[in-house]
Structure 1
Amino acid sequence: MNKYSIAAASALLFAAFNTGAYAAGGEIAVIVKTVNSNYWQNVQKGANAAVADAKGYTLTFQGPASESAITDEVNMVVNAVNRRVAGIVLAPSDPDALVPAIKKAWEAHIPVVLIDSTISDSGKQYYQSFLSTDNEKAGEMCAKALIDRVGQSGKIAIMSYVPGAGSEVSRVGGFRKYIADHSKLQVVGPFYSQSQMATALNQTTDVLSANPDLKGVFGANEPTAIGVGRALKQSGKAGKLVAVGFDGNEDLQGFVRDGTVQAIAVQGSWQMGYKGIQTVVNVIERKPVAKQVDTGVVMVDKQNLDSKEAKNVLY
């Protein structure tokens, strides 16, 4: 049973703080890891759709220039608290650094809903709901897709993104454990791109050069997987080894279609934005919400790329 599913969530709860109730309406601040990514822009589209369906709410959408600009994201949360927003939907870039800012929101009776990545256990009391992909399971799915195509032995590389990010720890951890438990594949890496496509491209090019016997590679998020695909093309190795990526923008869809990347795990990013807004509105209006919600993942390859299921999550 999926650990983040509603069925497996502890109990529905009425998310109100120790004192006071919320006044319906007002600004909802959506703060994500970076605005410079199709993935987060798709989250914004879902959030915009949900606000349009809500009565009396407005939306602001912010994020740092890069996922590694953690201090910038912390400041955005603090600024949202200081201007007394009605609620915050947050994708935390670091599990520890955001805790004090989320605590400030809690102390100000401003509800916080987390999406995509969670925070450390010390901050769990300060947010009301967490919506995400089950990243550990998604990492396992990517590992299985790779094993199915490269076999039980040989060498593969892990191209990851921001070390310590909640989604990265679970996703790459699930991938590595499945590889260790179900194959004798040798793992090179992980290498960390800091979610910068150009960095991932250069790192992958170096890994391909240093490991001519490489049989497969895993690109663990959108900019990293794009960098992997471009490195394979530029090195003339597209289609000569197996690549599995994460997320589903037009670049990655093109790589699947032309055989550069064999499979991509695509998250429900639009759903995260839409349900994130719905959930924080429910908290504000004192309706029950689940503490944890799984927003799903779909494995997409050339065979199902044009299916309805894939089109529902590709962006």
Structure 2
Amino acid sequence: MAGAKALRLGVAVLAAVALAGCGGGGKIGGGNNSGQASKKLVLIPGVKAEPFYISMRCGAEEEAKKRGYELTEQAPDKFEAGLQTPIVTGVLATKPGGVLIAPTDDKAMARPMADLKNAGIKVVEVDTKVTDASISVSKISSNNEQGGRKAAETLAKLVGEKGSVLVLNTKAGTSTTDMRAKGFEEEIKKYPNIKYLGQQYTDNEPAKAAQIVSSTLSANPDLAGVFATNLNTGEGASTGLRNAGKTGAVKLVGFDASPKQVDELRKGGVDALIAQDPAGIGRRGVEQAVSAIEGKSTEGEIQTDLVAITRDDMDQQSKYFYKTTC
């Protein structure tokens, strides 16, 4: 019996030593992730197959590869919290080291994102963010309020500082576009001969944006300009003006620089674009996630600059055009 006991004790000690060895060196940056899982990152953008988010993924993949990490993407078919939430839940089960996410709603996505954090997964918000500031280790986005002000300045010049102007926003509760609308509204007040018609929501549907433009033209014959706060809304606004025979007569400032929008700018369907740097946001997102995983310091909030692009300087600004493939 004594020999059997000694044997069992020896096995137990060896097992404890082996377990301690795994625990001491098998994890990077804490949490419950294994060493292998902690080298994996997941990007959850706002919507699938949109050039802005494709460009973001290109930048993120490039940075992840450079740092020895593997990055995969899972995206909802529409910019909706109801479609993004089950993706987050599925990613939670795989326990990657970090998640880069563009929340589709600033309140509804907070709970599922908090579940990621509570599981030891490092969360980085890219492009959009939730109202709960405690969830992510870093937030990287364009300076969207600055972008709205740039749009107001650009549109005011285009319309000769007179007439009525409209803002087409996407969905209430989308942090980025709400800040763009806010910046525009504050800046446009500086022009006394411009009448601000307020903002209307398009639900991120181009067809609805086109319909709103049409009805606004009927109600406001002096409509001089439109600011569309995102890609889909801008494409719809351009269609609405074209259908009404008002292309060029009513000036349109769009946000983002997708291939379709760049083509519209070149052809005259859009008069100016406010472009972001999505690839830069992706790169910085990976940088911050890796720092958190490896126990290094992170920056709580990072804002990237934007640029106004007109037909006259678009060839010189081509580095800001968004991609459809990496």
Q: How does 1:233-248 map to 2 (within 5 A)?
A: 233-248=242-257
Give the match for residue 312 of structure 1: 319
Give the match for residue 86 of structure 1: 97
* TM-superposition CA deviations, 1:243-298 (whole Å, max 9, x none): 11100012211222222221110000111122212221121112222111112211
Deviation at 1:188, TM superposition (A): 2.3
| Larger relative contact order (CA 8 Å, sep ≥ 6) | 1
Residue identity matched to 1:62? Q
User: Which residue of 207, 216, 226 maps to 2:225?
Assistant: 216
User: Which residue of 104, 115, 121 maps to 1:110?
Assistant: 121
Give the match for residue 198 of structure 1: 207
* TM-superposition CA deviations, 1:117-167 (whole Å, max 9, x none): 1211xx212210011001111100100101112133321111111111111
Instruction: Pick which of 206-215 and 142-151 moved more.
Output: 206-215
Give the match for residue 275 of structure 2: 266
Alpha carbons of structure 1 residues 200 and 270: separation in structure 2 relative to 1, 3 Å: same
1-side partners of 2:253 and 2:312: how far apart? 15
Deviation at 1:90, TM superposition (A): 0.5
Normalising by structure 1, we get a TM-score of: 0.87
Deviation at 1:20, TM superposition (A): 7.5
Instruction: Pick which of 154-163 and 206-215 moved more.
Output: 206-215
CA contact (8 A) 1:22 1:284 kept: no
Q: Secondary structure at the match of 2:307?
A: strand
User: Structure 2: 5+ residue runs without aligned partners?
Assistant: 1-28
CA contact (8 A) 1:23 1:284 kept: no
Task: Say which one has the larger Rg.
Answer: 2
Deviation at 1:110, TM superposition (A): 0.6
By percentage of residues, which structure has more helix?
Answer: 2
Work out whether 1:47 is the aligned partner of 2:68.
Answer: no
Give the match for residue 176 of structure 2: 167
Deviation at 1:21, TM superposition (A): 8.7
Cα root mean square deviation, aligned: 2.0
CA contact (8 A) 1:216 1:242 kept: yes
CA contact (8 A) 1:195 1:223 kept: yes
Instruction: Pick which of 77-86 and 137-146 moved more.
Output: 77-86
Deviation at 1:96, TM superposition (A): 0.9
Identity over the aligned pairs, expressed in percent?
A: 25
Deviation at 1:72, TM superposition (A): 1.7
Work out whether 1:28 is the aligned partner of 2:32.
Answer: no
CA contact (8 A) 2:33 2:97 kept: no
Instruction: Pick which of 156-165 and 74-83 moved more.
Output: 74-83
CA contact (8 A) 2:214 2:241 kept: yes
Q: Secondary structure at the match of 2:189?
A: helix
Give the match for residue 59 of structure 1: 71
Work out whether 1:287 is the aligned partner of 2:296.
Answer: yes
Residue identity matched to 1:61? E
Deviation at 1:82, TM superposition (A): 2.0
1-side partners of 2:280 and 2:231: how far apart? 17
1-side partners of 2:93 and 2:176: how far apart? 28
Q: How does 1:123-202 map to 2 (within 5 A)?
A: 123-202=132-211
* TM-superposition CA deviations, 1:70-101 (whole Å, max 9, x none): 12212212221222111100001111111111
Residue identity matched to 2:320? V
Deviation at 1:22, TM superposition (A): 7.7
Alpha carbons of structure 1 residues 91 and 176: separation in structure 2 relative to 1, 3 Å: same
2-side partners of 1:251 and 1:205: how far apart? 21
Q: Secondary structure at the match of 2:134?
A: helix
2-side partners of 1:189 and 1:52: how far apart? 45
Work out whether 1:37 is the aligned partner of 2:46.
Answer: no
Normalising by structure 2, we get a TM-score of: 0.84
2-side partners of 1:22 and 1:99: how far apart? 25
CA contact (8 A) 1:89 1:113 kept: yes
CA contact (8 A) 1:219 1:244 kept: yes
Deviation at 1:207, TM superposition (A): 1.9
1-side partners of 2:218 and 2:49: how far apart? 29
1-side partners of 2:184 and 2:271: how far apart? 16
Work out whether 1:299 is the aligned partner of 2:308.
Answer: yes
CA contact (8 A) 1:36 1:66 kept: no
CA contact (8 A) 1:22 1:285 kept: no
* TM-superposition CA deviations, 1:10-44 (whole Å, max 9, x none): xxxxxx67x77984743211111111422112212
Q: Secondary structure at the match of 2:225?
A: strand
1-side partners of 2:243 and 2:54: how far apart? 28
